[in-house]
Structure 1
Amino acid sequence: MDCGIGTLIVLLHLCVPFGEGSPMEFGANSGLRRCGRVYLTVSSSQDTSLELNWITDCVHPDNLKPDYVALYNYDVKDRSEEAPPLVKIRASDFSSGYYKTKIKFGHPWLPGNWEYRETLTRADPGPHCFPYWIASFRGSNIIDTKCLGIQPTWMNDNRLQIGTQKIGNLFIPGTHNSGAFNGVPKFLENYILNQDRSVWTQLVHGIRYLDLRIGYYDGDGFYVNHDLVRITKVAQIFKEIRKFVQLAPKEIIVVDFHRFPYPSNFNATLHEKFVSLVYDYLGDLALPPGGLQVGKGPTLNEIWAQNKNVIICYADKAVARENYWLWQPLQQHWADTKNVDNLKSFLSKAIKEHRVTLNPMFALMAELTPQPIDLLFRTNNLRKLANDVNRKLTMWFRDEWARDVNIVATDYFLGNDVINVAIDTNINR
């Protein structure tokens, strides 16, 4: 479990103020690792710059090495007129297959009528694009093109391909410290916030695993915490989960109440009060484990047949046993390192050595963690560490581990392409 950095912050707070011709498309769906395939990410730094990414492994004779990569505000496959790209680079100038643009993504309105509001009663199913498209070219021919978009109904969209898969075998994209996206003073943000999008926005983009840590404060009630630092009240998050399930009733969401860090004696009375609150908001949506926690768990078809698609995992085994609708604790594998190579070694070992527990699912916490000394010297903040590793995570899970993982939780999730990798992997499994 990742803990400690919040404790140190609380202590420090006491003493520190804080193209040519007609394009022709080649094999855009011909494999996850095809040379020249492209995707867009959003920088994990505060500038939210759009990042161009393309695959550079061009050994296979059928692969087309791109001459250049470009960013557009429209889909070049659907437009015949020539309109200049926002950015165009020569691929050979960037051998790593990565280029950070100066175009800011910011926090745009969600397409497809998916912007959150309490009165929302309908949103458009299927994927939807923001007005940003990346394309790779060989001469005037398109190798691949893809937009930056949302995947609010990806499970239902692909139900024929993924319905027979067991929940413990599914590649599920998630976020680490999902509720830590705003609500703390500026001087705490770089070492407390692991995300910069609301839980609602995470779900709309395609995240299906939420990692939540809970604190209780007399007079104020229950909050999402990052260790000892409280962030935001849980009620709003529960409202967003509930609204999302109403609009996307076939999407299966795993809610993991993974720790209860405050107060240090989170006693039986507090657990009883919290479980009651969760039930008030989500109880009728919760899938009871029954006999489903055996082996790799139920298939998606079996879950859908019950019309209850929120799986709620609870860190306290005794409390989970006492409440028929709660699942047993979900095992998280957490490296507690700020070194990229150490993280990769840890994740590789965790994948190989993981054993099934009382819960059929397991989570790889695929993020780097600042150490106490980093806080003292203001180094290696969470945004920097996410920038250091997010692009590598995409390659690791796409090229090496795609078929061997279950839940993958990351920081600043728009900085990687794990959601799309998970969807493609599940479809092609």
Structure 2
Amino acid sequence: MNLRQIVSKLIISVIIGSTIDCSISDTNDKDPEVWITVSSLADFNRKLNRTIERQIELNWRRVTIDGQHNQWIGLFNENPSNEKLVKSGKNYSIDSINIDLLNNGSYRTYIQFPYKKFSMKNLNNSCLKYWIALIKNKKIIAKNCLKIHPFWMEKNMAIIGNMSLLDLMIPGTHNSGSFDRYDLYEDTLTNKYTLCQDESIFNQLIYGIRFLDLRIAYDNNNEDKQRVWIVHGPVVMKHTLNSVIQQIKRFMEMAPKEVIIIDFHRFEKGFAKDELSQQKIRRHHRKVWTILDKHLLKYLVPKSMGLRTKLNELIAKNKRIIIGYTSDNYLIDRQYLFPQTKHLWPNTDIVNEMVDYFNKTICDVFPGELVSSMAQLTAEKFKLIIDLYDGLRTMAQNVNRLITDAFHWDSGMGWTDCANVVSSDYFLGNNLIDISIKTNLMRSKKQSTVK
């Protein structure tokens, strides 16, 4: 892929088939919406002699097209004002695009979003420098910013406090521990198809993710004493379970009114029945529990409280972490281990098939169970070997705008009425965190009306 051609390229959000219509339509009865995402694409541009990654994307929906050629969308490095627009016009923005024909769309700018280092000092302002605005006749019609949501549960507790985790729409990440920044020299076939995120666990939580999908292995041969590692399938990541759990602990200390789910979805090497004796498997599971006990015990929700406990009660008792665990039968002390989260996994590399799968399954009822819609494409083995997809970054790019539209409350798909957890790859490329927060406020209102 030639990224020189990609820079400043317009991307039209087109969904194959008739599942979501992104063509011009009558949306005059609803306000336009704009938001910022970060492209998952990354590559080294040899002509420019630099890496092109994390390009900021401008997104819009429900924009009324009147044929007057007087509307544009701009990217700004401050909260835009009408006064400056009148004075400077498009020169006020750092990038922009005319939108004369499309009421829904996306535009990838040349601006690259830097990795952020968060601390308690810089969490007060939720906007991260970059703003988007829809402009018509030098007047702002709609605007938004690229945000973090470290305290979204706390800020909305007066509204959602009487809801349980089963009632909420919860933003999550797929293979949460399989993260790393793009590196040209490590952009191997293996890394292209095992790395699913480029933000650390701590940063994922700061941005607003509340469901973490972890897969682990026990490595007897590694000289490092930290033998429990994060893995994606057979591939060992750079991160130990201990380091990931410490990131979670740091967040829990900084955000005392947030509730999260940690789902140990798979246990790979060092946990398999056909590989080791039962005694050794138990020993390895005890090692996992020792790490959890050391760093997170005071936050763990006991199974006796159940998943229907309201957020208010969980926070009041400082029981704010649900542990989903696939193999709890290997541990004697199971009081803090819930069943693993049920995954609705399309297991396809075809967009239409993913949409069809969720249309058929997302509203299935699983009483008392957390259910995660795994909203990402899955590579087929042979196509992966020949790198037909150009890696998981490209696969995420191909689907992230789609899932933003499909899980939106006015999409007409009905997914947002049923979704519990929604997990994605390269989550900054979609708007599921914002959508989840707003959906929860709407669900609470509906529950109040029913009562």
Give the TM-score, by structure 1 length. Answer: 0.83
**Residue 179 (structure 1) aligned with residue 177 (structure 2):** yes
- What corresponds to 2:73 in structure 1? 69
Q: 1:318 aligns with which of 329, 336, 339?
A: 329
Separation (CA, whole Å) in 2 of partners of 1:38 and 1:320: 49
Shift of 1:80: 4.7
More deviation, 371-380/411-420: 371-380
Query: Secondary structure of the residue that 1:167 maps to in structure 2?
Result: coil
**Residue 302 (structure 1) aligned with residue 313 (structure 2):** yes
Q: 2:395 aligns with which of 369, 377, 385?
A: 385
Q: 2:228 aligns with which of 197, 216, 222?
A: 222
- What corresponds to 2:109 in structure 1? 101
Q: Assess, with a 3 A threshold, how the Cα gap between structure 1 residues 246 and 78 changes in structure 2: closer, same or farther.
A: farther
Q: Is contact 1:162–1:427 with CA below 8 Å preserved after alignment?
A: yes
Separation (CA, whole Å) in 2 of partners of 1:43 and 1:249: 31
Shift of 1:213: 0.2
Separation (CA, whole Å) in 2 of partners of 1:217 and 1:422: 37
Q: 1:196 aligns with which of 189, 198, 202?
A: 198
Shift of 1:101: 0.9
More deviation, 182-191/164-173: 182-191
Separation (CA, whole Å) in 1 of partners of 2:246 and 2:332: 25
**Residue 53 (structure 1) aligned with residue 53 (structure 2):** no
Q: Is contact 1:313–1:329 with CA below 8 Å preserved after alignment?
A: yes
Q: Assess, with a 3 A threshold, how the Cα gap between structure 1 residues 78 and 280 changes in structure 2: closer, same or farther.
A: farther
Q: Is contact 1:152–1:205 with CA below 8 Å preserved after alignment?
A: yes
Q: Assess, with a 3 A threshold, how the Cα gap between structure 1 residues 287 and 320 changes in structure 2: closer, same or farther.
A: farther
Shift of 1:35: 4.4
Separation (CA, whole Å) in 2 of partners of 1:126 and 1:78: 25
Query: Secondary structure of the residue that 2:363 maps to in structure 1?
Result: helix
Separation (CA, whole Å) in 2 of partners of 1:290 and 1:181: 33
Q: Is contact 2:40–2:393 with CA below 8 Å preserved after alignment?
A: yes
- What corresponds to 1:118 in structure 2? none
Shift of 1:271: 1.1
Given residue 197 of structure 2, which amino acid in structure 1 is its aligned partner? Q
Shift of 1:89: 1.4
Given residue 32 of structure 2, which amino acid in structure 1 is its aligned partner? G
Q: Is contact 1:36–1:66 with CA below 8 Å preserved after alignment?
A: no
- What corresponds to 2:382 in structure 1? 373
Query: Secondary structure of the residue that 1:170 maps to in structure 2?
Result: coil
Given residue 325 of structure 1, which amino acid in structure 2 is its aligned partner? Y
Q: 1:242 aligns with which of 219, 238, 249?
A: 249
Q: Is contact 2:63–2:104 with CA below 8 Å preserved after alignment?
A: no
Separation (CA, whole Å) in 2 of partners of 1:419 and 1:352: 20
Separation (CA, whole Å) in 1 of partners of 2:70 and 2:429: 23
Q: Is contact 1:127–1:151 with CA below 8 Å preserved after alignment?
A: no
Q: Is contact 2:153–2:257 with CA below 8 Å preserved after alignment?
A: yes
Separation (CA, whole Å) in 1 of partners of 2:109 and 2:169: 30
| Consecutive unaligned residues in structure 1, runs of 5 or more | 1-30, 116-121
Residues 224-283 of structure 1: per-residue CA shift (max 9 Å, x gap): 100110102111111110010101011101011111011333722211221122211111
- What corresponds to 2:209 in structure 1? 207
Q: Assess, with a 3 A threshold, how the Cα gap between structure 1 residues 167 and 144 changes in structure 2: closer, same or farther.
A: same
**Residue 36 (structure 1) aligned with residue 37 (structure 2):** no
Residues 49-98 of structure 1: per-residue CA shift (max 9 Å, x gap): 11110003649x9xxx9821111111114875745101121112555421
Give the TM-score, by structure 2 length. Answer: 0.79
Residues 334-378 of structure 1: per-residue CA shift (max 9 Å, x gap): 11111111111112222122322xx53111111001110122211
Q: Is contact 1:286–1:309 with CA below 8 Å preserved after alignment?
A: yes
Separation (CA, whole Å) in 2 of partners of 1:345 and 1:335: 9
- What corresponds to 1:153 in structure 2? 151
Q: Assess, with a 3 A threshold, how the Cα gap between structure 1 residues 138 and 229 changes in structure 2: closer, same or farther.
A: same
| Consecutive unaligned residues in structure 2, runs of 5 or more | 1-26, 43-52, 444-451
- What corresponds to 1:5 in structure 2? none
- What corresponds to 1:335 in structure 2? 346
Query: Secondary structure of the residue that 1:207 maps to in structure 2?
Result: coil
Q: Assess, with a 3 A threshold, how the Cα gap between structure 1 residues 128 and 300 changes in structure 2: closer, same or farther.
A: same
Q: 2:99 aligns with which of 91, 98, 104?
A: 91
* Aligned alpha-carbon RMSD (Å): 2.5
Q: Assess, with a 3 A threshold, how the Cα gap between structure 1 residues 92 and 320 changes in structure 2: closer, same or farther.
A: farther
Separation (CA, whole Å) in 2 of partners of 1:78 and 1:314: 53
Given residue 305 of structure 1, which amino acid in structure 2 is its aligned partner? A
Given residue 158 of structure 2, which amino acid in structure 1 is its aligned partner? L
Q: Assess, with a 3 A threshold, how the Cα gap between structure 1 residues 320 and 411 changes in structure 2: closer, same or farther.
A: farther
Given residue 51 of structure 1, which amino acid in structure 2 is its aligned partner? E
Separation (CA, whole Å) in 2 of partners of 1:320 and 1:342: 39
**Residue 351 (structure 1) aligned with residue 362 (structure 2):** yes
More deviation, 282-291/244-253: 282-291
Q: Is contact 2:192–2:392 with CA below 8 Å preserved after alignment?
A: yes
Q: 1:257 aligns with which of 239, 264, 271?
A: 264
Shift of 1:322: 3.8
Query: Secondary structure of the residue that 1:92 maps to in structure 2?
Result: coil
Separation (CA, whole Å) in 2 of partners of 1:79 and 1:261: 59
Given residue 167 of structure 1, which amino acid in structure 2 is its aligned partner? L
Residues 142-169 of structure 1: per-residue CA shift (max 9 Å, x gap): 2210010111101001110110112101
Separation (CA, whole Å) in 1 of partners of 2:230 and 2:70: 45
- What corresponds to 1:165 in structure 2? 163
Separation (CA, whole Å) in 2 of partners of 1:254 and 1:127: 25
Residues 114-171 of structure 1: per-residue CA shift (max 9 Å, x gap): 34xxxxxx44655521111000123222221001011110100111011011210101
Q: Assess, with a 3 A threshold, how the Cα gap between structure 1 residues 90 and 331 changes in structure 2: closer, same or farther.
A: same
